Amino acid sequence: MNHMHIARKLISREGDVTPVVLEAMANTSDPRLKQVMTSLVSHLHQFVLEARLTEEEFEFGLRWIAALGHHTNESNNEVVLAADVIGVSTLIDLINNNGMQGETMSALLGPFYRGHAPHCVSGECIARSETPGAGLVFTGRVIGAQGYPVEGAVLDVWQASPVGLYENQDESQGDFNLRGKFTTDADGCFHFVSVKPAGYPVPTDGPVGDLLRAQQRAPMRPAHIHFIVYAPGHKTLVTQIFADSQDALLADVVFGAKQQIVGDFVRHDRPDVEFPGMKAPFYTCRYDFKLVAGTPSYPIPPISGKKA
Ligand code: BEZ
Ligand code: FE
């Protein structure tokens, strides 16, 4: 087979480039790859023409993209963060998860999901090292869209410490602090103990931080807890439950907050026999996750470990 591409003509003006490049890609055998690359190249060329990019701007942009790679390592994923702060991740989320079958709304995975979190027994506390903040008892059920309980669903939970950092970013936190996996019982119920989450800034020491400063944008995420809810026979749910003010939700730097997944965090000012061992003030939150039938999948963790 001859894979050599012979252009019909040499390029001499701006308008020649797009058709010649699309023609060069015309033999792509995977139809989906061909469709995606045709659309990408067409729109990218259109963007360059519309913005009339200078050579300096182009070089600056390429250096910025290379810096995303240089700031990506086992404990930080600047590429994911970049997609998040320009709203691309939220678009992808909404295209692929619309909640139309009654399932719980999804939310961004974000750059801080780690695989291999410890399996916990029901009721276990995921604060594994000294962690500030008010206690939190989080309970709920995993149910199918028709309301039946899902037994054996695994909830992979993670959150930032109220100091504003995930454990992978912070040498002072123990390995897997504020991360854990919980399994639902025969009634679909789960239960864990943690601390009430606080809002935090996304990392600003890399090229994404440079962009946010240039755009005069605050780097804050509203307080939330992340969940991956996995059960055989069901579509995997990747979501976050929010615990913050409307203003903080509106100011989410990654456009990830959704009204449907704001939790009802109830403050308790006195110890309560119903919640033994919880020192006042503490919070409780109950949230039921609804899954739809489907083929489960698992996201690839954007990071693998703690800061070296
Ligand atoms: C997060 O919630 O962990 C997150 C999401 C997007 C960007 C940065 C952090
Ligand atoms: Fe987060």
- pLDDT tier at 6, thresholds 50, 70, 90: confident
Ion ligand 2 residue ranges (Cβ < 5 Å): 110
Give how many domains the chain has, as a whole number. Answer: 2
Q: Is 112 in the pocket of ligand 1 (CB under 6 A)?
A: yes
Residues 41 and 84 in one domain: no
- List the beta bridge partners of residue 293: 234
- Residue 167 domain-assigned (yes or no): yes
Residue 145 has pLDDT above 90, yes or no: no
pLDDT cut 90: percent of the chain above it: 94
Compute the distance between CA of residue 308 and CA of residue 305 in angstroms, rounded to an integer: 9
- Residue 223 domain-assigned (yes or no): yes
Residues 137 and 225 in one domain: yes
Segment 152-158 shows an average pLDDT of 98
Q: What is the distance between the terminal CA atoms of the chain, rounded to a whole angstrom? A: 49
- Residue 305 domain-assigned (yes or no): no
- pTM of the shown model: 0.94
Residues 135 and 197 in one domain: yes
Residues 105 and 234 in one domain: yes
Q: What is the pLDDT of residue 307?
A: 73
Cis bond before residue 281 (omega within 30° of 0): yes
Q: What is the pLDDT of residue 2?
A: 59
Residue 1 has pLDDT above 60, yes or no: no
- Residue 12 domain-assigned (yes or no): yes
Residues 204 and 245 in one domain: yes
Residues 98 and 177 in one domain: yes
Residue with tokens 């994911």: 80
Residues 19 and 122 in one domain: no
Here the CATH number for the domain that contains residue 281 is 2.60.130.10
Q: Is 156 in the pocket of ligand 1 (CB under 6 A)?
A: no
Residues 173 and 216 in one domain: yes
Whose CA is closest to atom 4 on ligand 1? 110
Residues 235 and 168 in one domain: yes
Distance 172 CA to ligand 2 centre (A): 18
Residue with the larger pLDDT of the pair 308 and 172: 172
Residue range of the domain that includes 42:
1-52
Residue with tokens 């109950």: 286
Residues 26 and 126 in one domain: no
Q: Report the nearest atom of ligand 1 relative to the CA of 203.
A: 8
- Characterise 164 by phi-psi region: left (phi > 0), alpha (psi -120 to 50), beta (else): left
**Length of the chain as a residue count:** 308
Residues 194 and 141 in one domain: yes
